Amino acid sequence: MASDQILDTHPRDSEWRADALAGSRHSRLTDHLVQPIESHDVEQAAVICAQVTRTLLGDLAPALILLSAEWRQRVQALAAYGLTLFDFAKQTGLEGERLSQINRWEFELETALSGKPSGQPVFVLLATEHRIRPWPEAALDRLGDAARRRVTSRRPSTATVLDQQALGLGGAIVGSLVEEGGTPALVSFAAAIVRIRALQDLTHSLRRHQASLPVDELADDWDPGSSSDDRQLDAAIAGECRRIRALLAEAPKAVSETPTPLRSAATYLWLAGRRLIADIEKRGAAILEHPPRLGLASRLGLLMRTRSGLGLRTEKQ
């Protein structure tokens, strides 16, 4: 829609800025969620949210196989909603516009959960799940707050700030899925998984000056395309790996405290996370050119260990 046009009627389709996803030229999710589905088809919404969730989890996506169909759909609805919030936060453009997108997304969620129809797939699925088991509003609010903090602070200034932000996001995720918000060990575990995925995406986030590494460890003007000295990056990655290792130290306790329907998936996340962090530690700055990934054989092996019940016992030894 041309900027010099003034309309007194509702704009068409993707021209409507309140359709937050369709209006974004920068969103990485527009390939998945461009147009609302006016049929309010729950099955179609579930397929779309599943695609988005696989993108979010990457090598960790096999954990979804270990969930029941009911829990898998609930996790996928939450993941698609959360990823979209943070996609808005990471876009280029004015801070106010990005905050406005997040606010609109939260308002549309509130509308959908109140029983009013929404054509966006993620809200169709969220509303369906809400009728089965109400979403905890406080946890969803914390998820939005975490996205807003990402808008106002592209990168954490110190490791302490990073820890606080990661634990806040981990708490929002756990609180959205687990009654009474989960335990401290479970929140720390969720924060560790989030940070491992951030390191896997480090190349992309550095180029956008949005890396989750603390600014006091890696300068904001550090350019992966021109720097010939990787020692600063090596040190920053090593520091983050140590912090993640500290969070993972309580992973066995976190897994044991995970509700039974989610426990096998949590075990897979732990085993996969340990393997990925070991690979990141080994590669250091080389992860920019060769991001750590789990091959098909590794993913299948971890699934087999999890299903056999050997994974948790082996890692404790």
Question: For residue range 217-233, what is the model confidence (pLDDT) as tens digits?
Answer: 998 888 766 655 688 89
**pLDDT under 70: residue ranges of the chain:** 1-40, 224-229, 310-317
- My answer on whether 147 and 158 are in the same domain is no
- 179 torsion bin: left (phi>0), alpha (psi -120 to 50), beta (else): beta
Rounded distance, CA 248 to CA 180, Å? Answer: 22
What is the DSSP secondary-structure string of 210-225?
Answer: --SS-TTTS-TT--TT
Q: What pTM value is reported for the model?
A: 0.83
- My answer on whether 160 and 282 are in the same domain is yes
Rounded distance, CA 192 to CA 248, Å? Answer: 7
- 181 torsion bin: left (phi>0), alpha (psi -120 to 50), beta (else): left
- My answer on whether 146 and 160 are in the same domain is no
Domain of 284 in residue numbering reads as 154-295
Contact 88, 101 (CB under 8 A): yes
Question: For residue range 192-208, what is the model confidence (pLDDT) as tens digits?
Answer: 999 999 999 999 898 88
Query: Tell me, what's the pLDDT at 153?
Result: 87
Query: Tell me, what's the pLDDT at 38?
Result: 56
Please check whether residue 314 lies inside any domain of the structure.
Answer: no
Please check whether residue 158 lies inside any domain of the structure.
Answer: yes
Rounded distance, CA 266 to CA 280, Å? Answer: 21
- My answer on whether 103 and 161 are in the same domain is no
Please check whether residue 136 lies inside any domain of the structure.
Answer: yes
Rounded distance, CA 90 to CA 105, Å? Answer: 15
Measured between alpha carbons, how far is residue 102 from residues 50, 98, 106, 165, 298 in Å?
21, 6, 6, 18, 37
Instruction: Determine whether 263 is exposed, middle or buried from the number of CB atoms within 10 Å of its CB (0-12, 13-18, 19+).
Output: middle
Query: Tell me, what's the pLDDT at 312?
Result: 56
Residue 51 CB partners (closer than 8 Å, separation 6+): 32
Query: Tell me, what's the pLDDT at 101?
Result: 92
Domains of the chain: total:
2
- My answer on whether 164 and 86 are in the same domain is no
CA-angle at 246, arms to 241 and 252, nearest 5°: 120
CA-angle at 198, arms to 193 and 201, nearest 5°: 135
C-alpha torsion angle, residues 283, 289, 293, 295 (rounded to 10):
-110
Query: Tell me, what's the pLDDT at 33?
Result: 45
Q: What is the CATH number of the domain that holds 194?
A: 1.10.600.10
